[in-house]
Amino acid sequence: MATLMEQWVEKFRVYRSQKLPWLGTFFLRCHITANVMTIFSFLAGLGTVYFLFQNHLYFILFGLLHLILDGIDGVIARASAASTFGKYLDHASDQLIGVLLILKIAVVTQDYFVYIIAGLIFLGQLFYALSRFTAPAHFPRSIILIVLVFQQVTLAFLVAGVIGVYTLALQLRWVLRRKSL
């Protein structure tokens, strides 16, 4: 049974697939590939990380830009021949921004617990990538950004920690089930 968040994400994917193919075609005509858009999204994500705790308005603007460009890279990939490299690049750039946000919180708050959370998230995402995107995984980046928009730093890293631990638990169960087959 899909969770509410999974249902929302799937509805948004269907919407993008039905309503935005023209946008992917437009960018391809401008010679902007999905991988180039992923790099732009990553750079906007780095801006998001930089402005966290420095300028809240810029943090929000760069965060929105990062999420929008991340959505557009998927539209472009569906309008062209998606590549395995592009899939890994997109995943790595998205999840790296989530981990960098948590690491910045750790540096600013000087809380070692936050470093542990960043490590758990990194391990879960690394396992997901190494499994060729077949292992179960949940992605905390968007929820971290949403919570940080409301300047709830403690809640952001706690939610990220819960998502990280839950992802690792799902992956452990996935591995054990595969071994028993």
Q: How confident is the model at residue 5 (pLDDT cuts 50, 70, 90)?
A: low
* 32 CB-contact burial (10 Å; exposed 0-12 / middle 13-18 / buried 19+): middle
Is 4 a residue whose pLDDT tops 90?
A: no
Domains of the chain from N-terminus onward: 14-180 (1.20.120.1760)
Q: What is the pLDDT of residues 104-127, one digit of tens each?
A: 999 999 999 999 999 999 999 999
Q: What is the pLDDT of residues 64-83, one digit of tens each?
A: 999 999 988 888 988 887 78
Query: What was the pLDDT predicted at 1?
Result: 45
pTM: 0.87
Q: What is the pLDDT of residues 23-60, one digit of tens each?
A: 788 888 889 898 999 999 999 999 999 999 999 999 99
Give the number of other CB atoms < 10 A from CB of residue 155. 14
